[in-house]
């Protein structure tokens, strides 16, 4: 695997209004729920990309495997007890 990792910080949002009839989300209906760090790793020999989604405390929330053929598999981790 490549040792080069890109880290980006993204805000996680949810929509408060579940009765939307269009794809438009108004600013007053958006609630900021936290932030996520995204790490990308790529294995050039096998053609597999691994995407790690972490929360603000660097706990891994999701591991996504992306094949060069387009198929994806995800593992979601929940740390609540």
Q: Which tens digits make up the pLDDT trace of 63-72?
A: 999 888 889 9
CA atoms of 79 and 81, how far apart (whole Å) = 6
Domain extent for 55: 6-16+26-70
Residue 10 has a pLDDT of: 76
Residue 60 has a pLDDT of: 87
> Is pTM, for the whole model, over 0.85?
no
pLDDT digits (tens, 9 = 90+) for 1-58: 455 555 667 777 777 766 667 778 777 878 877 778 877 777 777 788 888 888 877 8
Overall domain count for the chain = 1
- HSE value, Cβ hemisphere, 13 Å, CA-based, for 50: 15
Residue 77 lies in a domain: no
Residue 78 lies in a domain: no
């Amino acid at each position: 695997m490549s040792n080069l990792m890109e880290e980006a910080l993204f805000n996680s949002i949810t929509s408060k209004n579940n009765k939307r009839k269009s794809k438009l989300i108004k600013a007053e209906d958006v609630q900021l729920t936290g932030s996520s760090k995204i790490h990308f790793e790529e294995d050039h020999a096998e053609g597999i990309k691994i995407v790690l989604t972490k929360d603000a405390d660097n706990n891994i929330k999701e591991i996504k495997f992306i094949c060069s053929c387009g198929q994806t598999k995800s593992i979601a981790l929940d740390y609540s007890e």
